Amino acid sequence: MSSFVIQGGARLEGEHTVQGAKNSALPILAAAVAARGECVLHGCPDLSDVRATLTILESLGCAVRRQGGALVVDSSCLCRCEIPERLMREMRSSIVFLGPLLSAMGCANLSAPGGCDIGERPIDLHLETMRALGVRVIEENGRLRCDARAGLRGARCSLHFPSVGATENLMIAASTAKGVTVLTNAAREPEIADLAAFLNACGAKIYGAGEGALVVEGVERLHGAEHTVIPDRITAVTFLTAAALTGGEILLRGARPSHMDAMLSVLEQSGCRLCRPGGDTLYLRMQGRPRRLPTIRTMPYPGFPTDAQALFMVLAALAEGASIITETIFENRFRHVAQLRRMGAFIRVEGRVAVVEGRRFLQGARVEACDLRAGAALVLAGLAAEGETRVRKIEHVDRGCEHFEGDLALLGANIVREEDDLGQEDEEA
Ligand code: UD1
């Protein structure tokens, strides 16, 4: 295991280029299974979750190689429809292989991805939509045997909650189903539109992706294509918030500000000066202490994203006055609160609501990342705190933030990665 060791107090200043979106890259790589032929994908970030996805692709028989900065996936030798439990557990979003395998092979044998640190990760919506397309699903001892050898057929479906993963699985499977599929209350995240753009480049006929109701006209087969994933809106806002918390300034390049409206609005209302010069750049400058945050309620897109909740809690912890943050998407996504309290933050939690009384200072402390975004938030808290902060279990952060400490250091942060020695782990267990 590794830790980040941070000496807080340095003002961040400079330029940062936003990485490609993890949450686009993962479903698009999985969808490459359904596109018989070579897919060339640009902008996939180098992350442990992406590497885990590539391992699954290879285990299914796909050939994967790097070509310059691109990832090339060739699924013409796809020969298996089973993903071993070990690989399923390595990455929660492995369930997004369900639709691609059913489309390409007519069967998928997977294990349920299980719960995780931010709460249970049920897959009922994934299975409900697959059943609507004619898939026979047998759940046995934690394994899922899904059979569509009689053929996928288009259907009308509606999600009772706009699940991102369930929308992705349905779009991919419906692309090669017989007839037309209509999905209402579909997720509208930008990553959904990006996946649809990739599938359409492969020959699919998907209309309305990102708009809540989507129509998929099934085609005979998908072919290979070339695609560039969209910029990562969550890591983009991670760097903006890091600059804001240290009273710094940052020029982001390669961003897609229109995907970040809900988050940018909160940054502006908390006192950050934001300029959107147009195109793919964003400039932020912060002077003085953040103002009390407007009430935040995490919601499906275009609402405030749950993935940014922990980051903004750090801003609230240092802001003037009290801010209120309500988490509505995941039931257990306040685990960073206990860690932030160790740094002197004053946060009361009742159910899904956190009331954060801002403090003038946070104190460096030994804390532990409990999930990817919480880990990134603790790093930000460490950058703003007085003294030294050690963030343990940063493997969570490596799942989603590419070159995190290197990029922060380039902006002036005092942060290094250290391998934990076993004695230290025992001492802190
Ligand atoms: C995706 C993102 C994740 C983000 C989340 C919500 C990826 C790889 N991950 O996760 O970063 O936090 O969207 O924006 O894109 N649900 C059910 N039944 C289901 C599926 C989901 O009840 O079958 C519930 C979940 O428990 C959760 C909510 O729906 O409470 C949102 O889940 P979902 O939108 O599916 O998130 P993911 O696709 O897993």
Model-level pTM? 0.96
Q: Provide φ and ψ at 96, rounded to 5°.
A: -75, 0
DSSP E strand stretches across 319-394: 322-326, 346-350, 353-357, 366-368, 388-392
Catalytic residue among 44, 116, 202, 401: 116
For residue 126, the ligand 1 atom closest to its alpha carbon is 23
pLDDT at position 425 is 52
Q: Is 380 in the pocket of ligand 1 (CB under 6 A)?
A: no
Q: Is 339 in the pocket of ligand 1 (CB under 6 A)?
A: no
State the DSSP code for 315: H
Q: How far is residue 339 from each of residues 80, 139, 144, 411, measured CA to CA in Å? A: 43, 38, 37, 25
- What's the sign of the alpha-carbon dihedral 233, 239, 241, 244? negative
pLDDT at position 93 is 85
**Helix, strand, coil percentages, rounded to 5, for the chain:** 35, 30, 35
| CA–CA separation, 208 and 414 (whole Å) | 45
The answer to whether the beta carbons of residues 167 and 187 sit under 8 Å apart is yes
Q: Is 93 in the pocket of ligand 1 (CB under 6 A)?
A: yes
State the DSSP code for 363: B
> What element of type H or E holds 262?
helix 261-269
Average pLDDT by stretches of 10, the chain with 429 residues = 96 98 98 95 96 96 94 95 88 91 96 62 91 95 91 97 97 98 98 98 97 96 98 98 98 97 98 93 96 98 98 98 97 93 98 97 97 96 98 95 97 95 53
Closest listed residue to residue 144, CA positions, set 131, 162, 159: 131
How close is the Cα of 166 to the center of ligand 1, in Å? 8
Pairing of strands 353-357, 322-326: antiparallel
| CA–CA separation, 132 and 156 (whole Å) | 8
| CA–CA separation, 27 and 70 (whole Å) | 16
For ligand 1, atom 8, the nearest C-alpha belongs to: 23
How close is the Cα of 386 to the center of ligand 1, in Å? 36
The answer to whether the beta carbons of residues 104 and 33 sit under 8 Å apart is yes
| CA–CA separation, 120 and 90 (whole Å) | 16
pLDDT at position 101 is 98
Q: Is 123 in the pocket of ligand 1 (CB under 6 A)?
A: yes
Q: Choose which residue among 28, 117, 137, 163 to substitute to test ligand 1 binding: the one with the highest number of ligand atoms within 8 A of its C-beta.
A: 163
pLDDT at position 426 is 46
pLDDT at position 392 is 97
The answer to whether the beta carbons of residues 314 and 377 sit under 8 Å apart is yes
How close is the Cα of 329 to the center of ligand 1, in Å? 8
For ligand 1, atom 34, the nearest C-alpha belongs to: 163
Question: From the CB of residue 208, how many other CB atoms can be counted at a distance below 10 Å?
Answer: 16
Angle between the 261-269 and 309-317 helix axes, to the nearest 10 degrees?
0
Q: Is 163 in the pocket of ligand 1 (CB under 6 A)?
A: yes
pLDDT at position 122 is 85
How close is the Cα of 239 to the center of ligand 1, in Å? 24
SS3 1: coil
SS3 330: coil
How close is the Cα of 422 to the center of ligand 1, in Å? 35
| CA–CA separation, 175 and 27 (whole Å) | 14
pLDDT at position 92 is 78
Give Cβ neighbours of residue 59 (< 8 Å, ≥ 6 apart): 80, 83, 84, 87
For ligand 1, atom 13, the nearest C-alpha belongs to: 164
Q: Is 73 in the pocket of ligand 1 (CB under 6 A)?
A: no
Q: Choose which residue among 97, 161, 298 to substitute to test ligand 1 binding: the one with the highest number of ligand atoms within 8 A of its C-beta.
A: 161
| CA–CA separation, 6 and 379 (whole Å) | 8
Residue 370 a catalytic site member = no
Give me 351's structure tokens.
Answer: 């159910």
How close is the Cα of 229 to the center of ligand 1, in Å? 20
DSSP class per residue in 113-172: ---BTTB----HHHHHHHHHTT-EEEEETTEEEEE-TT--B--EEE-SS--HHHHHHHHH
For residue 23, the ligand 1 atom closest to its alpha carbon is 15
The answer to whether the beta carbons of residues 273 and 411 sit under 8 Å apart is no
How close is the Cα of 236 to the center of ligand 1, in Å? 20
Closest listed residue to residue 378, CA positions, set 323, 333, 311: 311
| CA–CA separation, 342 and 365 (whole Å) | 7
